[in-house]
């Protein structure tokens, strides 16, 4: 793919990354800043980066404090002659301390609309890279088991994040029609896992007793954070227009994931979980309920062919995440128990045989 002249388009001089006060945004911005081919990286968020994120961004990323739901990002794009926008300020879960679902929707939907409005006015803009999600794809019993990028979902999902994703991708399609000269890359990421990733799903697997839906064992897919960073970086430095599923190959079921994590699954009736999800619990949303009822597996052939990059498999990515958390029921304990039972049975059989 690198021999293709289009793909070797020069890397952008100035890149704007939104959502840099969060883990993914900070990492992406810092990596871009470390790339000598890129002159300037501007990081945008509505709050100052704190803790780890502040260290990661340090002096290499120019931080601009601005609210994405206003016209400010448009001014930043215009005044800095931004050539590439990496839009990562998309919240996948509501934060009850920061306005809950209403604020989340406003950031995702209004924020994206404002950003796209700013992009449309910027003549020097060449590319937009979007962080989307597989969350909207696979929330119906009539959906196929494996989604390609072209598979249309049969039903509107229950989860707020999933519905935001459908809205955002819709706005982007409109933008593509209005500015065909701007290359757009939409990356539909499976849930991110990794030793340092902190998402509602990784917090969920951190619980000792893990709630699941009674009678359902969904197929899950993950992508390793480091692979997601690599794909985002390449999307900026190379040209890969289009929509791509980004996930680790293969699948593990929820029951398998719970057991591999050494957790204890607690099956709960779906209506009860739905009530918890609607109630706005921090560790359980309707997005998760959709995932835990329907499961979600995507085909990543297009990504692998276009990027020449194969993310590590779902099983390997999940295993790496597990190294960061301890198990309640460690595997070697179960293995030791197996050997004890087998040895015990052999002894008693030998004793019985001896009596004969």
Partner 1 sequence: MDFESRQHHATIAQRPVGARSVRTPRRTPAPPPEPEPDVWDRRVANTLAFLRRRLTGEYEVDEFGFDRELTDGVIHPLLRPLYRDWFRVEVRGIENLPDGGALVVANHSGTVALDALMLALAVHDEHPDHRYLRLLGADLVFRMPFISELARKHGSTLACNPDAERLLRAGELVGVFPEGFKGVGKLYKDRYRLQRFGRGGFVQAALHTRVPIVPVSIVGAEETYPMLGNFKPLARLLGTPYFPITPTFPWLGPLGLIPLPSKWYIEFGKPIPTDAVADQADDPLVVFNLADQVRETIQQTLHQLLDVRATEL
Under the binding rule (CB under 8 A), the answer on residue 207 touching partner 1 is: no
Q: Nearest distance from residue 215's CB to partner 1, in Å? A: 3
Q: In angstroms, what is the minimal distance from the CB of 144 to partner 1?
A: 4
Task: Choose between 54 and 341: whose C-beta lies nearer to partner 1.
Answer: 341
For residues 187 and 297, which CB has a smaller minimum distance to partner 1 in the complex? Answer: 297
Q: Cβ distance 257 to 206 under 8 Å?
A: no
Min dist. Cβ of residue 303 to partner 1 (A): 15
Cα–Cα distance between 40 and 223 in angstroms, integer? 28
Interface pick for partner 1 out of 60, 259, 309, 312 (rule CB under 8 A): 259
Looking at 29-37, 224-232, 237-245, 333-341, which segment touches partner 1 (CB under 8 A)? 333-341
> 291 to each of 101, 162, 298, 339, how far by Cα in Å?
18, 10, 13, 37
Applying CB under 8 A, does 120 fall inside the site for partner 1? no
| Closer Cβ to partner 1, 6 or 343, answer by number | 343
Residue of 270, 283, 309, 312 interacting with partner 1 (CB under 8 A): 270
Reduce the DSSP state of residue 243 to 3 states and report it. strand
- Find the shortest distance in angstroms from Cβ 217 to partner 1: 4
Three-state SS for 346? helix
**CA 154 → CA 143, 144, 196, 220, 351, distances in Å?**
6, 9, 35, 19, 63
Q: Which token pair is 188?
A: 């539909």
| 8 touches partner 1 (CB under 8 A) | no
Q: Mark 248-282 as b/e (b = at least 16 C-beta within 10 Å).
A: bbebbebeebbbbbbbebeeeeeeebbebbeeeee
Q: Within positions 145 to 184, which residues make up the interface with partner 1, using CB under 8 A?
A: 145-146, 148, 151
Minimum Å distance from CB 143 to partner 1?
A: 7
For the window 76-115, what string marks contact with partner 1 as x by the rule CB under 8 A? ----------------------------------------
Per CB under 8 A, the list member of 255, 306, 312, 325 interacting with partner 1 is 255
Calculate the alpha carbon distances from 244 to 232, 307, 328 in Å. Answer: 11, 10, 37
Those residues with Cβ within 8 angstroms of residue 158's Cβ, 6 or more apart along the chain or in another chain: 139, 274, 286, 287, 289, 290
The residue within the footprint of partner 1, chosen from 143, 238, 239, 320 (CB under 8 A), is 143
The answer to whether residue 251 forms part of the interface with partner 1 (CB under 8 A) is yes
Instruction: Supply angle C-alpha 137, 185, 156, rounded to 5.
Output: 20
279-308 mask for partner 1 (x: CB under 8 A)? Answer: ----------------x-x-----------
For residue 346, state whether it binds partner 1 (rule: CB under 8 A): yes
Tell which one of 69, 131, 219, 234 touches partner 1 (CB under 8 A): 219
Longest CA–CA span in the chain (Å) reads 94
The upper half-sphere exposure of residue 326, i.e. CA atoms within 13 Å in the direction of its Cβ, equals 1
Alpha-carbon gap, residue 268 to 270, rounded angstroms: 6
Question: Strand 127-133 relative to strand 183-189: parallel, antiparallel, unpaired?
Answer: parallel
Closest separation between CB of residue 299 and partner 1, Å? Answer: 8
- Candidates 124, 208, 345, 348; binder of partner 1 (CB under 8 A) is 345
Which residue among 42, 162, 258, 303 contacts partner 1 (CB under 8 A)? 258
By beta-carbon proximity to partner 1, the closer residue of 13 and 260 is 260
3-state secondary structure 201-242: HHHHHHCCEEEEECCCCCEECCEEHHHHHHHHHHHHHCCCCE
Q: Would you tell me which residues interact with partner 1 (CB under 8 A)?
A: 141-146, 148, 151, 213-217, 219, 250-253, 255-260, 262, 270, 295, 297, 329, 331, 334-335, 338, 341-342, 345-346, 349-350, 354, 356
């Amino acid at each position: 793919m690198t021999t293709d002249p289009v793909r070797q388009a020069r890397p952008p001089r100035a890149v704007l990354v939104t959502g840099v006060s969060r883990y993914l945004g900070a990492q992406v911005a810092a990596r871009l800043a470390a790339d000598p081919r890129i002159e300037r990286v501007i990081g945008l968020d509505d709050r100052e980066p704190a803790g780890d994120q502040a260290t990661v961004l340090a002096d290499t990323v120019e931080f601009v404090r601005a609210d994405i739901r206003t016209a400010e990002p448009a001014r930043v794009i215009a005044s800095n002659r931004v050539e590439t926008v990496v839009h990562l300020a998309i919240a996948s879960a509501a934060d009850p301390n920061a306005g809950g679902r209403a604020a989340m929707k406003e950031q995702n939907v209004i924020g994206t609309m404002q950003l796209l409005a700013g992009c449309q006015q910027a003549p020097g803009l060449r590319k937009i890279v979007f962080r989307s999600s597989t969350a909207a794809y696979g929330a119906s019993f009539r959906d196929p088991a494996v989604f390609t990028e072209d598979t249309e979902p049969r039903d509107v999902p229950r989860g707020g994040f999933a519905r935001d994703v459908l809205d955002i991708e819709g706005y982007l399609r409109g933008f593509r029609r209005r500015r065909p000269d701007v290359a757009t890359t939409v990356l539909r990421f499976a849930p991110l896992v990794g030793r340092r990733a902190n998402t509602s799903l990784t917090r969920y697997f951190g619980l000792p007793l893990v709630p699941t839906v009674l009678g359902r064992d969904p197929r899950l897919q993950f992508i390793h954070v480091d692979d997601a960073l690599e794909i985002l970086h390449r999307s900026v430095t190379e040209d890969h227009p289009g929509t791509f599923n980004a996930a680790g190959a293969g699948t593990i079921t929820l029951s398998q994931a719970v057991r591999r994590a050494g957790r204890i699954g607690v099956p709960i009736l779906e209506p009860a979980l739905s009530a918890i999800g609607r109630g706005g619990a921090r560790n359980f949303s309707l997005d998760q309920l959709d995932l835990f009822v329907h499961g979600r597996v995507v085909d990543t052939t297009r990504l692998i062919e276009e990027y020449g990059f194969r993310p590590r498999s779902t099983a390997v990515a999940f295993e790496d995440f597990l190294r960061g958390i301890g198990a309640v029921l460690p595997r070697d304990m179960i293995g030791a128990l197996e050997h004890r039972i087998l040895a015990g049975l052999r002894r008693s059989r030998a004793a019985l045989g001896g009596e004969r």
